[in-house]
Structure 1
Amino acid sequence: MSEAQLQEKIRAIVGIHYWNFTQLPEQVCMALDQLLITYERDEILSVMQRLLPDYEASAKKARANGAGSGTAAEMNMACEMQLRYLSDSIEYIENHSA
């Protein structure tokens, strides 16, 4: 598979389809485990690290657009959750046995 396909898989995994405010949702961990079966650990980490600045920029932009209430607040929360899930996913993969 190409790097673009791996990026799309990672984006789908860290999407906010599942909510858990204390840890990665079980479904996310299971999807990450599947990635580890298909791809090399270092390849996954490399792609995740390259995606991180985009997620950070999206979260920063959402914060700047106001997080008071309504749609802006929902967008801010969604961007922050995606950033957290990606960051936590990087940690999850890093801690996985090489």
Structure 2
Amino acid sequence: MNNFIQEIVDTCKLPFGEISKDFKIIWIGIGSLYICNYRKLVDYNTDRIVISTAYGAIEVVGDNLVLRQINKGEMIVSGEIISISRGGVNGKKEKSK
């Protein structure tokens, strides 16, 4: 597993096997993410995207974020991605259980 994926796994406090079965976040180039198997797009603006998953909300923070492609259960996000974290819908970080 590469360092980027390991960082996401560690940040979200989820076992890699569970992530690979449920949702995936794949870095596909400079400033682009491929996200699949999410449940719902909860919040979107140019500096923050929140999606819901089986394990809670995942927050992507950045600048000039754009949904380049969005289909049922998958999307491509482009922009200057600053962080990916497990976050609440109202900007509050969820506590890990």
State the structure with more CA Rg: 1
Greater RCO structure (CA 8 Å; 6+ sep): 1
Higher helix content, 1 or 2? 1
TM-score of the superposed pair, with normalisation by structure 2: 0.28
Higher strand content, 1 or 2? 2
TM-score of the superposed pair, with normalisation by structure 1: 0.28
